[in-house]
Amino acid sequence: AQSVTQLDSQVPVFEEAPVELRCNYSSSVSVYLFWYVQYPNQGLQLLLKYLSGSTLVESINGFEAEFNKSQTSFHLRKPSVHISDTAEYFCAVTYTGTASKLTFGTGTRLQVTL
């Protein structure tokens, strides 16, 4: 069965500092990987995705994630965070032929402070 592990339930960081949110998945076949962000009292929004091609993917607000097949990881990074990045971040995986049926990790709460 597919699974996703987010090792850190909470990550506190100061504004303008770099951050990395870790995500590992279990797989022996091709995978499609996503990061979603959830702001308070809202639904989830897609942040970025890896479907194929370049292993480094970027979002419009400065986040990036690198697909590492050998380590089965898809860590999310940002070189300089802002207060507005405070939210919960979910890593998700689906496999070829599963029709968008995503398996989510347990989430990482990113708390940015001054």
Residues that bind other proteins (CB under 8 A): 4, 6, 9, 32, 34, 36, 41-46, 49, 51, 90, 94, 96-107
Q: How far is the CB of 16 from other proteins (least distance, A)?
A: 29
CB neighbours of residue 62 within 10 Å: 13
Q: Which two tokens stand for residue 21?
A: 């949110």
CA separation for the pair 69, 98 (Å, rounded): 20
Q: How far apart are the first and last CA of the chain?
A: 41
CA separation for the pair 109, 95 (Å, rounded): 26
Q: How far is the CB of 105 from other proteins (least distance, A)?
A: 6
Q: Which is nearer to other proteins, 78 or 89 (CB)?
A: 89
Q: Which is nearer to other proteins, 42 or 70 (CB)?
A: 42
Q: How far is the CB of 91 from other proteins (least distance, A)?
A: 9
Q: Do 32 and 50 form a contact (C-beta atoms < 8 A)?
A: yes
Q: How far is the CB of 15 from other proteins (least distance, A)?
A: 26
Q: Which is nearer to other proteins, 30 or 71 (CB)?
A: 30
Q: Is residue 83 helix, strand or coil?
A: helix
